[in-house]
Amino acid sequence: MSESTGTRRASGLSRKGLKGGSVGLLGAVVIGVSCIAPAYTLTASLGPTIAEVGVQLPAIFLVGFIPMLLVALGYRELNNAMPDSGTSFTWATRAFGPWVGWMGGWGLVAATIIVLSNLAAVAVEFFYLMLAQVTGNASLAALAGNVPLNIATTLVFIALACWVSYRGMETTKKLQYILVGFQLLVLVWFAVAAFVHVGAGTAFDASAISAEWFNPFAVDSFSTFAAGVSLSIFIYWGWDVTLTMNEETKDPEKTPGRAAAATIFVIVVLYMLMALAVLSYAGIGTEGLGAGNPENQESIFAALARPVMGPFAILMSLAVLSSSAASLQSTFVSPARTMLAMGHYRALPASYGRISPRFRSPGLRHGGRGHRLRSVLYGHAGAVRECSLGHHHCLGHDDLFLLRRYGAGLRLVFPGRSVRRRPELLFQVPLAAAGRNYPAGDVLPDGEGLAGSGLRFRLIGGRHRPGLHPRLRCNPARRGADVRDVQAAPGLLPG
């Protein structure tokens, strides 16, 4: 009996039919890097972070790296003890019971819905920008602002990403080698070209690298430091996808944890290189090409690519496009395997625990319908995102219906006094799952509207009492109630 099999039996886990041994350490690291999307993340975050902390940007990146590394090491130990594609769902269920485990799994799904709509929207924007640069027709870039066309193109990107993900990890890995390799090559090219300009005296605001840049205590105030760290922490997230692939790696107990740590190290080295290149070339001025200029902060590479890379500036647009597209595709990996585990262990309907017999990847009953419904949700989430940026009251009854019908359990409810008295309210969500007779639910904002009220929503809807896989049941005495009494909402997405 292998060590992996022994660990699974000891921890009460079971395999789900995924294709084992299809991803090695290098492939896992590449997929982890692609999920973080360094080119897209840097172009969107360098400007705002520099505006907060100035030349201490490298120091802030290092400070943000430390908690991410510690979390990655913690995840590695959890994976060594309990390698399962459900990751947080499985671990939390075993440690704290099915309520907390289900919440962890649902949280990942909800976060992914939001992230995917934004990644697809970014890919669409840079797609039309690329077309404008290639054809020399600037009006093509404005097509990204056409909402119906934007949503249609977004759905095409999502459909392609779904198709690649459905074909399994080997197809995903091959595609990511190309997309990640290209964006890393362009980023390194940009950094080297920037340093060459600095050395030749042709930089916009040449600045010599100083040890003071690496000193986090040189930041003006604690509030500025906290703002910078808050920005820097989020630019590392995405490496956890390496752990959800653990059942498909060549060494499920060691490879995912090593890949997570290696991904963090690769990213911090890349971020430091790019931060030093931008600061050395552009400085932190608020005029012209300065990195502190508010006009450059939305996309710092769009402002600096042509001065730094000359006629090859279009490659940077392609790199950001490939980065967002690669992240869009690899981001599907994690929630698909989380829902697979939740279906396998009966925290979701059994159809979510089924495997494609051909590709041995997560598959759903009525998969075509499920993908169409998800596409509607992601596309509408993109429209809501565009809408909420400019208006606080732009959602009508049709919008609320779509959000409710296709699973906008995207709002959290924190257990107050009434919830503590009636714990079954905690996991109610506004869903009418396809093919099931759930009572109609309502979304009732406490504030001025969907965009203006943030997370302050009451969630009212149908309830379902799922059975939980016996192997994942915890000791009932630890929670004061039997597992079978737990109320949850398995219909997270139509299935």
DSSP 123-159: HHHHHHHHHHHHH--GGGGGGGG-HHHHHHHHHHHHH
DSSP 186-212: HHHHHHHHHHHHHHHT-SSS-----GG
> Are the C-beta atoms of residues 487 and 424 closer than 8 Å to each other?
yes
Q: Both tokens of residue 31?
A: 């997929």
Tell me the pLDDT tens digit for each residue of 67-114: 888 988 898 898 888 888 888 899 899 888 888 888 888 888 888 777
> Are the C-beta atoms of residues 97 and 347 closer than 8 Å to each other?
no
Give the C-alpha separation, 208 to 280, whole Å.
6
> Are the C-beta atoms of residues 293 and 285 closer than 8 Å to each other?
yes
Q: Both tokens of residue 148?
A: 């119906």
* CA dihedral over 153, 155, 159, 165, signed as positive or negative: positive
Give the C-alpha separation, 194 to 207, whole Å.
11
Tell me the pLDDT tens digit for each residue of 391-427: 433 444 333 333 333 333 333 333 333 333 333 333 3
Q: Which segment of 3-17, 90-104, 199-213, 376-390 scores lowest on mean pLDDT?
A: 376-390
Query: What pLDDT does 259 receive?
Result: 94
Confidence check: pLDDT of 319 > 70: yes
Tell me the pLDDT tens digit for each residue of 204-251: 999 999 999 999 888 888 888 888 788 777 788 888 899 999 899 998
Give the C-alpha separation, 31 to 203, whole Å.
34
Domain boundaries, the chain: 22-347
100 by Cβ neighbours in 10 Å (0-12 / 13-18 / 19+) ranks as: middle
Top-level class of domain 22-347? mainly alpha
